[in-house]
Structure formats: structure tokens, C-alpha cells
Amino acid sequence: MGPRRFLIGFATLSALGLLWYGATSVTGLVSSGRFPSPIETYTAFQQIAWRGYAGGTLPAHALHSIRLVAMGFAVAVATGVPLGLLMGSSRKAEALINPVFLLIRPIPPLAWIPLAILWLGLGDAAKIMVIWFAAFVPAVINTFSGVRSIEHPVIEAARMLGTPPWRFVMEVVAPAASPMIFTGLRLSLQASWTTLVAAELVGALFGLGRVLNLAQQDIYPGMILVGMIAVALCGWMTTRFLAFGEARALAWRHFEAKPAR
Amino acid sequence: MAAIRFDKVQKYFGRGDKRMHALSNINLEIEDREFLAIVGPSGCGKTTCLRLVAGFDAASEGSVSVAGKPVMKPGPDRAVVFQQFALFPWKTVRGNIDLGLRNKAIGFEEREKRIADVLKLMNLETYADAFPHQLSGGMQQRVAIARAYVLDPEVLLMDEPFGALDAQTRVVMQEELVRLARVQPRTVLFITHAVEEAVYLADRIAVMTRRPGRIKELVDVKSVRDAEKWNRFERIEDVMDLDSFVHLRTGIWRSLREEKNG
């Protein structure tokens, strides 16, 4: 990002901040019962940062949520990508698995929450299960279509070179599908956060969703906003982390072309 | 024993009403170390012939054998050079060339040596660690040829390998291939629709009819080339100026034109 773009972005955010300050604290156009002023938000932030709220400080809540997302996401990737590779590479596997997949797929991930809580309680296991269900689907679908869109000659080249099955999957199919796989992982990560916050809103003992839920019960707009901002920042951080991994894994696509000879 | 042998080969695609007759009674023997080019109108099934030898498709009737063994599936004894290069863009030049050797479970030192040799042969030494899309089309096709050559295959199958290259690069690659054939002769099955290319490169040319493809005639180029000593010329344009070259080319053109209009 160039300095010019950065400045423009900074100016936009500053203007929004000023507008927010003007509409709440200065003119009182928006009552603080509906939307908190910057000062109220800061007070709430100070409270949760130092003294704690909903059973813990903000870093503790955030870390808890990040940990659950990371675990659910990891389980979804570890199961979804191999399944997508399998379904993409083998017509038999696709015929076998696809009906089950089509049956489960239309169920919104959030609809699993009651069952998850019933089975596993309000603790971490239930959240991980729901995240898994939500993040699993985009991982499978994108991996699958990534495999199916591999150009034929590349596959034929690998076959004529006598590539054995395992190496064929690891060194040809997976890298060829990797751009689509990463598209799937980005969607999976998004789904993980959405699902986690929803699950924590419904029933949790700890975490950012729990902060939001309690702040709503306490009618505490400042704290709600702090919770929302915290979720946004955490989501942004994990997305950056994934993008970093993607840039490294797909480095072969991004080298500058040398002048042709 | 012929290196490649087509024995009463029929090929159909599809089933029932949509069944399409692609190849009709192909009988062809390609000798060891012979360079045979197949030319024919587009859609005549010349690429299908190559795919049968490669093992990508199976003959509907008859058999295709390489070095006396019937072709069952693709394998490194029949290395293919594709029109669209079909390199692995996530592997370096070295990695692309190495895969086939690793599949043959050849030891590290032997692999290093063979890769170094083939890189030198193809003038690719300085590009060993480049990725395919950092290279021009001609260089990419050199890598694909190196990837095939390094396997020391029984036969080399080239499917319009220079079809995707610009005119100047194509000429360079054609001269390169002639040089290669002199240094390291192989049995080559070469598919092309460019008659000049076929006459310049091949020992023998099979001319195919329109669909369903049959072999219409076999033209012996080698005896003319040897008699007229085409080898004394380095450059393709000097060879193309020779009366003997023009004569062969025109004959094949006429034969092909009958197919297109017929």
C-alpha cells in the first residue's frame, strides 16, 4: 500500500471518528442508550482491559476465542481438504460421499448449535464442533472444484512420468488445486468466526461472544461496541495470518517474469 | 522388431448413435531410432494415434505395442512432449525434470548427473532454478523436451510441440531438434499439421485422410535427405530452398489438399 492510499484511508477513518464524536457527545443526536459515545466506549474498554468483565480481561476473552477458532478451523482444514482432494481425484469416492454431503450441506451451521450444546455442553468442545461443521463445507467444495479444474495435460504429464498415487496427490494435484484450496480456506476462516461468535452468544462461559451477550443483558452499549471491535480485530488478525501462509505457499505464482530471451 | 507398432487399430469415441469413428484400420511400424511424422487435416485423428501410444486412450480394436509390449497405461518409457508444454508451474525447471527420475527411484547422485547433462544438452543451465512462467514459450518447451529426454525413453512422443510458439522461436526449436536427433537419436513419433516442419524433421511421413483417419500414404524423406545431403546446411531456410525439399513438400501438400476439398 502506497503512502498516498494510506493517507486517504487514515483521513476517511478520522472523519468517521469525528462524525461519531459529533453525533454522540457534542450534539447528542444519537442518545447514548442506543449507541455509545467514544468516551463511553473508552471507559468500557478500560474496565474490561484492566479490571475485567464477564469473568475475565479482554486479552483473556480474545485469546480464548482465537484459540477456539484456530482449533475448529484446523480440524475443518485437516478433514475438509483431504476429503475434497479425494472426491476430486476419484469418481468413485465422489459418487459415494456426495449424496451425504448434499444432504448435510443445506443445514445452516448455526442450526447445529443446539445439538452441539446438548451433546457437549457449554464448554469448548461444542464450539469446536460447530466451527468444524461450518468451516468444513467451503474447504471441501473449493478443494473439490480446484481439483476438477486442473488442466488435463498437467495430469497427463504426471501420469506419463510414472508418478505413483501418493506423490501424484501431494506433488501434482494438491499444488495445482492450491489457489482454489486457499480460496476455500479464506471462506472457512470467515465462517469459523461467524459461527464462534454466534455459538458464544447462545451459550458460553467465556470468550468474546460471552462479553457481547452479557453486555446486552446489562444494557451496556459501550461494552457491546468494545466486544464488536475486538471481534473485528481478531478476525482481521487471523485473516492476515492466513494470507501470509497463502503468499508463502503460492510464491511460485508471484515471481516476476524475467524478460524473454 | 519395430519400436512402435499399430496393428489393425480402430478407434471409436462415444457410444450408440453418437459413436464417432476416429481411426480406421491403422497399420504402421516405426523403426528403432526412426523419426516419423504424422500429418493430416485437423480432426483426422493424428493426435489420437499419439495418445494411443502414450496410453492415454485405448484402441477400440487392434493393438498398439512399443518394443514388442502392448501398451496398457502411460509410463516413462513413452515420454510425451505436449503442445501446451504441461510443465508443473509450482516446480522449478530442475524440479520438473527431476520428477520422472524420482519416480524411477534413481539415486540422488545419478539424478544430479543426468539433470546436469540434459540441462547442458538443452542449453538450460542458467535456468535450473527458475519457475516455468519466468521463461519464454520456447524455453518452456525446451524444459518439457529435457523432462522427456532425461528419462531415456524407448520412444519420444511429440504432439504438435511447436504449435504454440511464434514463428521465429519455432524455427529455432526445429533446428534444435535436428541437432538433438544427431547427438542423441531417438525413436520419435511427431504429430504436426505443418508440412514443411514434417519434411524438415522426419525420416518418414505418414499422411492421413479425413475422419475416419486412415493412413493414405507413407513418404520416405530420409533417402532423399541422405542422397541430397541436406545435412550440409545449418539453417532451415537453406534446406527449404532445395529442389528436393520443395518437391517433397509440394507432393504432400497436394495429397493433403485432396483431403480438405474432397
Q: pLDDT tens for residues B123-180?
A: 999 999 999 999 999 999 999 999 999 999 999 999 999 998 999 999 999 998 988 8
- Is the Cβ pair B74, A153 closer than 8 Å? no
Q: What is the mean pLDDT of chain B?
A: 93
Half-sphere exposure of B240 (CA within 13 A, CB side): 12
Closest Cα in chain B to A156: B56
For the cut 70, the answer to whether the pLDDT of residue A261 exceeds it is no
- Is the Cβ pair B75, A156 closer than 8 Å? no
The nearest CA of chain A is from the CA of B80 a distance in Å of: 7
| Cell 524455427 found at | B171
Closest Cα in chain B to A250: B90
Provide ipTM, 2 decimals: 0.91
For the cut 70, the answer to whether the pLDDT of residue A178 exceeds it is yes
**pLDDT per position as a tens digit, B5-62:** 999 999 999 988 889 999 999 999 999 999 999 999 888 899 999 999 999 999 999 9
If DSSP states are collapsed to H, E and C, what string results for B185-252?
CCEEEEECCCHHHHHHHCCEEEEECCCCECEEEEEECHHHHHHCCHHHCCCHHHHHCCHHHHHHHHHH
Sign of the alpha-carbon torsion through B105, B107, B110, B115? positive
Place B261 in a pLDDT band, splitting at 50, 70 and 90.
low
Pick the CATH number of A35-145+178-249 from 1.10.1040.10, 2.10.240.10, 1.10.3720.10, 2.40.50.140: 1.10.3720.10
Closest Cα in chain B to A173: B88
Beta carbons of B36 and B43 less than 8 angstroms apart = no
**pLDDT per position as a tens digit, A23-51:** 988 888 888 788 899 999 999 999 999 99
Beta carbons of B51 and B31 less than 8 angstroms apart = no
The whole-model pTM stands at 0.86
Residues of chain B whose C-beta is under 8 A from some C-beta in A? 54-56, 73-76, 78-80, 82, 84-91, 99-100, 102-104, 130-131, 133-136, 139, 147, 151
- Is the Cβ pair A261, B136 closer than 8 Å? yes
- Is the Cβ pair A159, B56 closer than 8 Å? yes
Place B184 in a pLDDT band, splitting at 50, 70 and 90.
confident
Place A259 in a pLDDT band, splitting at 50, 70 and 90.
very low
Mutation for testing the B interface, residue in A161, A172, A258 having most B CBs under 10 Å: A161
User: Which residues from chain A sit within 8 angstroms of residue B78, using beta carbons?
Assistant: 160
The closest alpha carbon to B128, from B138, B113, B143, belongs to B143
The nearest CA of chain B is from the CA of A40 a distance in Å of: 52
Minimal Cβ distance to A154: which of B56, B73, B88: B88
**pLDDT per position as a tens digit, A238-256:** 999 999 999 999 988 876 5
What is the per-residue pLDDT for A150? 94
Angle between helices A58-89 and A208-217 (to 10 degrees): 130
Q: Where are the domains of chain A?
A: 35-145+178-249
What percent of chain A lies above the pLDDT cut of 70?
A: 97
Q: Which residues on adjacent β-strands are paired with residue B220?
A: B204
User: Which residues from chain B sit within 8 angstroms of residue A255, using beta carbons?
Assistant: 131, 133-134
- The Cα B127–Cα B148 span in angstroms is 17
Q: Does A176 touch chain B (CB under 8 A)?
A: yes
**pLDDT per position as a tens digit, A56-77:** 999 999 999 999 999 999 999 9
User: Which residues from chain B sit within 8 angstroms of residue A171, using beta carbons?
Assistant: 88, 91, 99
* Domains delineated in chain B: 4-77+156-261 (3.40.50.300), 87-152 (no CATH)
Closest Cα in chain A to B78: A160
- Is the Cβ pair B80, A156 closer than 8 Å? yes
User: Which residues from chain B sit within 8 angstroms of residue A257, using beta carbons?
Assistant: 133-134
Q: Does A181 touch chain B (CB under 8 A)?
A: no
What percent of chain B lies above the pLDDT cut of 70?
A: 98
| Cell 466486544 found at | A227
- Is the Cβ pair B76, A160 closer than 8 Å? yes
The closest alpha carbon to A174, from A70, A254, A81, A78, belongs to A81
- The Cα A172–Cα A167 span in angstroms is 7
